[in-house]
Amino acid sequence: MENFRILENGGINSPKGFRATGVSCGLKEGGYKDIALLYSSIPCETVCAFTQNRVKAAPILINMERLDNKIQAIITNSGNANCVTGEEGIQNAREMAEMTEKFLDIPAGSVMVASTGVIGRKLDMEKIRYGIQRICNTIKTDNDIRSYATAIMTTDTKQKTLACEFDIEGVPVRIGITAKGAGMIKPNLKIPHATMLVYITTDAAISHEMLELALDEALSLSFNRISVDNDTSTNDSVFLLANGLAENPSITQEGEAFSRFKEALIFVCQEIAKMIVKDGEGATKLVKIDIKNALTSTDAEKIARSIADSYLVKTAIFGQNPNWGRILAAMGYSGAKFELDRVVVKLNGVEIFSRGEPQKTGIGQADVLMRENELTIEIDLAIGHKDYFLWTCDLSHDYVKINSHYIS
């Protein structure tokens, strides 16, 4: 973090040449903002990652047709996912893109689309058309990251936005990121390929190949390492746009400049990923699952995900119960290799299980530690040299209340 200058009130409109705002068109009851527009003054090198769920929303299908295009804007609606809406849904998503291109007077094929909200309902295109015309006019004079962040939210309770500045060969470069996501969060993203939507902008000059390489690694260390409720959305999308207006020497190969850019990208992605988990529907605790010294990387990941996705573990955490037995049970059915008499389980640095035996003193201390808002469950398998981590949250009464009334 000391290598980056965090920008106050930063987000995707912080890098040079980017603007963002949000307005209401009536998709959400109560006049809440529900249309958001991200716009670059010039076309951008763009890399995207989309859900691997076999059921993909219409906007993703449209975006996948445009992966080779220079992208200049992204139009987003909340309140309706435009998913499982047939050919009409696809045509509606395409019309959203084409209308945005028309009103911004930018090239055909230079707009991508995102939608989030209820699945299975067709878009009210009369409202959408009004909203797109309105926001394309508004963005000429309005550049409001708070309005944008609000307009993409569904069950979120907090805005998730961040930007940092750093130097590449003496030239200041910025990366901004804004996201939404609180439920249906277990991203499974690949390049190319209640929802997680992530928008990342940079004014760095960087080639498409290097941009793709950087995002691939950043995803593997951030959004692909979070789980709220073990459900992968139909609409998950990550967009990374680079317009080059910082005018740094272009990054076209691996080296110090690329490493600096990648380090900053990983930093902002990890910070936003943690914000998403903290704002998980009904969540009260952010939990890092940290697996050490597994025999293989695959085994380390299997154990981490098994623990993070266990509803028994998650409810124990909500109940502030240091239930080491549930942790071991999740490890046991993960399919990973380990030897119980070598395993050490720590909660915020305190041993609660060690080499086949529960640690009564540590368990007593853990009763107090469990009251903290951020927890780390560290498991040393002592059988190899491979590590893996991810972030999850607890499972509360409120999660059930939210999802029993909110139509996905």
Are 33 and 92 within one domain? Answer: yes
Q: How many CA atoms lie within 13 A of 313 on its CB side?
A: 27
When the pLDDT of each residue in the chain is averaged and rounded to a whole number, the result is 91
CA–CA separation, 215 and 235 (whole Å): 18
Q: What is the pLDDT of residue 185?
A: 44
Are 219 and 306 within one domain? Answer: no
At 90, which CATH number?
3.60.70.12
CB-CB neighbours of 65 under 10 Å:
12
The residue written with tokens 């998913």 in the block is: 83
Q: Residues annotated as binding site for substrate?
A: 154, 180, 195, 281, 403, 408
pLDDT tens, 377-390? 999 999 999 999 99
Contact between 26 and 127 under an 8 Å Cβ cutoff? The reply is yes
Peptide bond just before 172 cis, omega within 30 deg: no
Are 361 and 385 within one domain? Answer: yes
* Contact residues for 307 (Cβ-Cβ < 8 A; gap 6+): 289, 313, 327, 330, 331, 334, 377, 379
Digitized pLDDT (tens) for each residue of the chain, 408 residues in all:
557 899 999 999 999 999 999 999 999 888 899 999 999 999 999 999 987 777 789 999 999 999 999 999 999 999 999 999 999 999 999 999 999 999 999 999 999 999 998 889 999 999 999 999 999 999 999 999 999 999 999 878 889 999 999 999 999 999 999 999 764 445 555 544 346 899 999 999 999 999 999 999 999 999 889 887 555 567 788 999 999 999 999 999 999 999 999 999 999 999 999 998 888 766 889 999 999 999 999 999 999 999 999 999 999 999 999 999 999 999 999 999 999 999 999 999 999 999 999 999 999 999 899 999 999 999 999 999 999 999 999 887 765 665 565 554
Q: Residues annotated as binding site?
A: 154, 180, 195, 281, 403, 408
**Where in 100-208 does DSSP place strands (E)?**
111-116, 160-168, 171-180, 189-190, 197-202
pLDDT tens, 139-159? 999 999 999 999 999 878 889
The residue written with tokens 């299997």 in the block is: 302
The residues annotated as belonging to the active site are 195
Residue 220 belongs to domain spanning: 5-278
Contact between 207 and 282 under an 8 Å Cβ cutoff? The reply is no
SS3 label, residue 51: strand
SS3 label, residue 26: coil
Tell which residue, 235, 221, 90, 92, has the closest CA to residue 154: 235
Are 341 and 200 within one domain? Answer: no
Q: How many CA atoms lie within 13 A of 277 on its CB side?
A: 32
Which CA distances in Å does 88 have to 68, 233, 316?
A: 24, 21, 45
Q: What is the pLDDT of residue 407?
A: 53
Residue 221, sorted as left (phi over 0), alpha (psi -120 to 50) or beta, turns out to be: alpha
Are 315 and 245 within one domain? Answer: no
Q: What is the DSSP string of 320-387?
A: T---HHHHHHHHHTS-----GGG-EEEETTEEEEETTEE-HHHHHHHHHHTTSSEEEEEEE--SSSEE
**Where in 125-188 does DSSP place strands (E)?**
160-168, 171-180
Are 231 and 367 within one domain? Answer: no
How many separate domains does the chain show?
Answer: 2
Are 132 and 55 within one domain? Answer: yes
Rounded to two decimals, the pTM is 0.91
Are 346 and 369 within one domain? Answer: yes
Are 305 and 350 within one domain? Answer: yes
At 325, which CATH number?
3.10.20.340
